Amino acid sequence: MSIIAIFSGIHSAGEEIAREVAKRLDYTFVGDDLLEAAAKEHGTTAAKLSRAMGKRAFFNKATHEWEKNQIYLKATLAQRLVKDDVVVHGSVTQFIPSTIGHVLKVGIVAESQFRIERAVTQKGVDPDQAAQYIERADTDTAQWIDECLSRSMWDAALYDLKIPVPETTIGDAVDVICENFTKDALRPTDKSIQAMLDFLLATKVNLALLEHGYYYCDVRAQGDEIAVVINKTPTAAGAFVRAIQLLRYEQAADKVKEICRGFDEVNRVETLPGKGYKRPERALLVDDEEEYVLTLSQRLEMRDISADVVHDGQGALSALGGEVPDVMVLDLKMPGLDGIEVLRRVKRDHPQVEVIILTGHGGEKDERTAMELGAYAFLTKPVDIDVLAETMREASRKAHGEN
């Protein structure tokens, strides 16, 4: 189950390098055959699947093919990753989650003239046509990676190695990849194998949701827990019947949970509103000063921020067993569990919750500890209510990935 993922632009010698690496290591090469396998399994075509790794088509709002075909590709890729030691080549490598630690991610960066000369030979076109073809393909791929990953195509964070060609020959590139792949850091561990199984389960759930018309869900799995971000389906002519299923987030969330619970591997399901939904600010105030926190909640309500209130740390943790808030405003000094311990447990079990510390007892050491544990902000009493409200709105936007 060891994995090498090699990404390259067209006519960059990436496929030759990937095939040679697979041959030398006696690994399975995965390239365009993945598209053929996914097409056969899901009743589509390799050409349509390939277009799912580029910009959306004009009529996509009516067909949803871009979203559907990405789900098909991820599902087929996940199945391949758990079966064999593989060298995967192509844009599909960008679907591999960063949580899978035993993946060597390689980017092959080729000089423009080198690519043009290869395109002239391989496609039988003149140099100007080759240059235009490569530029269009690169632009399309770059836009797709930016939309899917919010990163530029050659962002260093996407690769463990970036190899320039033809400055590096194909043979030398193969040597470099094989040498780096033997490092202990890339050996499969229990944690990285679990991350791979999580990816597989997430794709299975995504397929099940797709069968019920939920094209716009982002699914994450961790062990037996599933988190589903439900994005609203854009309405379009011919898509009304499907889109009606997602007109209300609450209805969609109930249906999504029902579908997810149909999997034996799933023990807990969490749903979150995503793009297209008007999301209310959901907040939880945690403070043992009952009169103070009641007044605080009333003043926030006047600023269109609804907040539930609990008066101790255990109450805060218990509240997270129901509807998880976007933002928690947390005091430090409370009976029983103190604020620091509550913060530690919240960020461990519900990392998407943004926690604002609001205290009259903390010093620099407490602030440093809180920020290291993942607090969004550290405010002191008495607090300007408008400052608190704006901080909560900013934290809520971050919780929804809007910052």
Per-residue pLDDT tens for 36-64?
999 999 999 999 999 999 988 877 777 88
Residues 324/352, Cβ–Cβ less than 8 Å = yes
> Do 93 and 158 share a domain, yes or no?
yes
For the record, the structure tokens of 325 come out as: 């808030």
In the chain, % of residues over pLDDT 70 = 92
Q: Which of 181-185, 191-195, 397-401 has the lowest mean pLDDT?
A: 397-401
Distance, first Cα to last Cα, the chain: 36
For the record, the structure tokens of 143 come out as: 């836009």
161 pLDDT more than 80? yes
Is residue 323 a part of any domain in this protein? Answer: yes
Residues 348/320, Cβ–Cβ less than 8 Å = no
Domain of 367: which CATH number?
A: 3.40.50.2300
Q: Where is the domain boundary, 221, 249, 273? A: 273
User: At 237, is the pLDDT very low, low, confident or very high (cuts 50, 70, 90)?
Assistant: very low
Number of domains making up the chain: 3
For the record, the structure tokens of 374 come out as: 């993942």
Is residue 206 a part of any domain in this protein? Answer: no
- Separation CA 338–CA 312 (nearest Å): 8
> Do 65 and 184 share a domain, yes or no?
yes
pLDDT at 236: 41
240 pLDDT more than 50? no
Per-residue burial over 5-33, b if 16 or more Cβ lie within 10 Å, else e, is bbbbbbbbbbbbbbbbbbeebebebbbee
301 pLDDT more than 80? no
Q: pLDDT by residue (tens digit) across 309-320?
A: 999 999 999 888
Residues 400/279, Cβ–Cβ less than 8 Å = yes
236 vs 267, residue with greater confidence: 267
Q: Where is the domain boundary, 255, 273, 291? A: 273
What residue type is assigned to position 324 of the chain?
Answer: V
- Separation CA 217–CA 227 (nearest Å): 10
Is residue 74 a part of any domain in this protein? Answer: yes
pLDDT at 304: 65
> Do 149 and 256 share a domain, yes or no?
no
pLDDT at 402: 63
Q: pLDDT by residue (tens digit) across 262-289?
A: 999 999 998 877 766 544 457 899 999 9
Is residue 164 a part of any domain in this protein? Answer: yes
pLDDT at 1: 65
For the record, the structure tokens of 101 come out as: 């630690």
pLDDT at 379: 94
Sign, CA torsion 205/208/212/214:
positive
Is residue 146 a part of any domain in this protein? Answer: yes
> Do 310 and 340 share a domain, yes or no?
yes
> Do 27 and 171 share a domain, yes or no?
yes
Q: Which residues form the domain of 109?
A: 3-188
Q: pLDDT by residue (tens digit) across 314-363?
A: 999 988 877 788 899 999 999 889 999 999 999 998 998 999 999 987 78
Is residue 127 a part of any domain in this protein? Answer: yes
> Do 251 and 361 share a domain, yes or no?
no
User: At 229, is the pLDDT very low, low, confident or very high (cuts 50, 70, 90)?
Assistant: confident
Is residue 203 a part of any domain in this protein? Answer: no
DSSP annotation of 42:
H
> Do 110 and 219 share a domain, yes or no?
no
370 pLDDT more than 90? yes
Edge-to-edge strands, sheet with 306-310: 306-310, 282-286, 327-330, 354-359, 377-380
Mean pLDDT of 176-193: 90
Q: pLDDT by residue (tens digit) across 104-152?
A: 999 999 999 999 999 999 999 999 999 999 999 999 999 999 888 878 9
- Separation CA 387–CA 403 (nearest Å): 18
Chain centroid to CA 136: 26
Sign, CA torsion 370/381/314/307:
negative
> Do 269 and 287 share a domain, yes or no?
no
Question: CB neighbours of 119 closer than 8 A, spacing ≥ 6?
Answer: 10, 11, 125, 130, 133, 134
Edge-to-edge strands, sheet with 3-8: 28-30, 86-89, 3-8, 103-110, 161-165
**Residue whose entry in the numeric block shows the structure tokens 């390799």:** 46
Q: pLDDT by residue (tens digit) across 378-400?
A: 999 989 988 998 899 889 888 87
> Do 253 and 374 share a domain, yes or no?
no
For the record, the structure tokens of 2 come out as: 């060891």
Q: pLDDT by residue (tens digit) across 4-30?
A: 999 999 999 999 999 999 999 999 999
Sign, CA torsion 400/75/264/347:
negative
User: If DSSP codes are grouped into helix, strand and coil, which group holds residue 373?
Assistant: coil
Mean pLDDT of 76-90: 95
pLDDT at 133: 94
Q: Where is the domain boundary, 188, 220, 242? A: 188
Q: How many CB atoms lie within 10 A of CB 68?
A: 19
Q: How many CA atoms, within 13 angstroms, populate the side-chain half-sphere of residue 62? A: 5
